[in-house]
A and B are shown apart, each in its own frame.
Chain A
């Protein structure tokens, strides 16, 4: 038998740190293979089935997007930056495009703005459905999870027809969008899909959100108070669940949002259940927004800026300057800061992801004292997006 001190010594010689644990606590590696964590790992110090300390261990998805973006032409970066947010890749596309539009001083045509708003809202709905799937699986309500995946499939088919791809759309570009709306049939299909999902919300309520088990599992775990959330820079539904009425779509309106009528859900509890219910209400509101947009109808005109500089895309240059644009994603406030030195490549692209605010320090705090079975639920209720943390 090798004694513990020898093991620690040997580990140290090989450049590793073996943490000595006393006889009551043990160390548990949660992820990155665990389905709930999505390529994100947490090192848990456990006492029985209670978490004593949690250490977030991100970095499995680090691909250096921000540095890579400095070596690629302006337009090409769209195909790269959207990979930062897998469930809603339209958000990084939109913020980058909006920032470049500002630098160019372009007035984006109304039709392009309308299409961008529709695409962003569709992305929000599909992201919330994806999140519902995850929550259902983590709570053991597999029925609701499978439904959400099936309904999301309808939106994916619509995306496929509009953009030509299912997950990574590469659709919103500086100056507008890449393709026009295929036909009036597509708009009718979208309307049908919105109505279809709206009908099915009642089923989600029955099975998942009004389920006795869900309430018992999620009530009072992972409680976050208002001051703590504001100090840590938490945004989005997680902040709204602590009692702060903040939404980028209302505070700093962009695209078509000033003309739309929708409500912001705010709850005071700040626990996992409140976060889930806020998201549930927002899904309903997003469907309502889509309905309003479809009623408005697409404005006539071009779907792209007409500019002679766009003819030679690889040598397309952006005037020197800096711009920041942000939108409300399902995880929170998603922003892009773009700096140009007048060249054919960006000088710097910085992405402000929402998950980094609630994915590391806040998560570590919320997990203390939780049961091992609640760890995936808390993780899911925060709506973590690991690629956005690692970037």
Chain B
């Protein structure tokens, strides 16, 4: 009216519909056609190749810059110090993660990635809920499971901070968590001692 294009109004006869008694019965023809639904879980669903699912992390190229932790809208990423690794690695909490994958976009060395596995369902066990708070494993270990479920079967907590990830095919990954946060845990301890 004030600016913009000239408005093209549709003729009223085209917009309006006439009520009919007989026409609704035409839908009966669909009784003789195949249903469009899929019987889950007996029939598999097809997920797109680039579906945003669980993370993967290449531990060799991760430089621990915490860009992923800064961009995360849900604050699901916490940096974790692991024995034998020079830099911290992100730990992703799927209780908070929104699967926006901005962390993957900002990763400067492309260490973080994602696979199309997405299933967050458990069988109502508390131990299973712990699985969804993990340091992502390299792509080849996550990608070999093609049933869209989380790759871990169990997280075993051993003595003095050691953790053992048991994958669903029996493979294990063992490492020691030294601490969380941006600064190395040893420096943190020293600072605390100084303060004391």
Residues of A at the B interface (CB closer than 8 Å) are 72-73, 75-80, 141, 143, 150, 153, 157, 160-161, 164-165, 168, 170, 178-179, 182, 203, 205-207, 209-216, 245-247, 250-253, 258, 261-267, 277-278, 280-281, 285, 312-315
Cβ proximity bits B1-22 to A, threshold 8 Å, 1 near / 0 not: 1111111111010111111110
Complex CA–CA separation, A143 to B31 (angstroms): 11
| Contacting pair A267 B67 (CB below 8 A) | no
* Chain A residues near B14 (CB-CB < 8 A): 265, 281
Contacts of B71 in A (CB 8 A): 73, 75-76, 313-314
A207 neighbours in B (Cβ, 8 Å): 23-24, 26-27
User: Is B72 in the interface zone, CB < 8 Å from A?
Assistant: yes
Instruction: Give chain A residues whose Cβ lies under 8 Å from the Cβ of B36.
Output: 150, 153
**B101 CB within 8 Å of chain A:** yes
Which 8 pairs between the two chains have the least Cβ-Cβ distance? A314-B70, A215-B19, A263-B10, A79-B100, A164-B52, A76-B73, A206-B23, A161-B48
Q: Which of B8, B15, B16, B50 has the most CB of A within 10 A?
A: B15
Question: Can you identify 7 A-B contacts, CB atoms within 8 angstroms?
Answer: A160-B48, A206-B20, A207-B24, A247-B7, A250-B5, A253-B4, A261-B8
Inter-chain contacts of A313 with B (CB < 8 A): 67, 71, 102, 105-106
Expressed in whole angstroms, the Cα–Cα distance for A267 and B98 within the complex equals 42
Q: How far is the CB of B59 from chain A (nearest CB, A)?
A: 22
**A165-B51, A210-B20, A313-B67 known; A203+B27 contact, CB < 8 A:** yes
Chain A residue with Cβ nearest B20 = A210
Q: Which of A182, A205, A265, A267 has the most CB of B within 10 A?
A: A265
Chain A: minimal CB distance from B152 (Å):
23
Given contacts A209-B17, A251-B3, contact A170 B100 (CB under 8 A): yes
The residue on A at minimum CB distance from B36 is A150
B-side binding surface: helix, strand, loop or mixed?
loop
B18 interface neighbour in A164, A203, A210, A251, Cβ under 8 Å: A210
User: What's the tally of chain B residues with a CB closer than 8 Å to chain A?
Assistant: 45
Q: What number of A-B contacts does a CB cutoff of 8 Å give?
A: 139
Is B40 an interface position by the 8 A CB rule? Answer: no
Report B's interface with A, CB cutoff 8 A: 1-10, 12, 14-21, 23-24, 26-27, 30, 36-37, 47-52, 67, 70-74, 98-102, 105-106
Min CB distance B11 to A, Å, is 8
Bound together, the chains give a CA A79 to CA B97 distance in angstroms of 11
Docked CA distance A212–B17 (Å): 10
User: Does the CB pair B48–A211 fall under 8 Å?
Assistant: no
User: Contacts A245-B9, A264-B9 hold; do A160 and B102 have CB atoms under 8 A apart?
Assistant: no
Bound state CA distance, A214 and B47, in angstroms?
Answer: 37
A203 to B67, CA, bound (A): 52
Residues of B within 8 A of A80 (CB): 73
A179 and B50 in contact, given A206-B27, A211-B19, A211-B23 (Cβ under 8 angstroms): yes
Q: What is the CB-to-nearest-CB distance from B117 to chain A, in angstroms, rounded to a whole number?
A: 13
Chain A residues within 8 Å of B3, by CB: 251-252
Contact between chains at B8 and A262 (CB < 8 Å): yes
> When A76-B102, A164-B101, A206-B24 are in contact, do A277 and B9 touch as well, CB less than 8 Å?
no
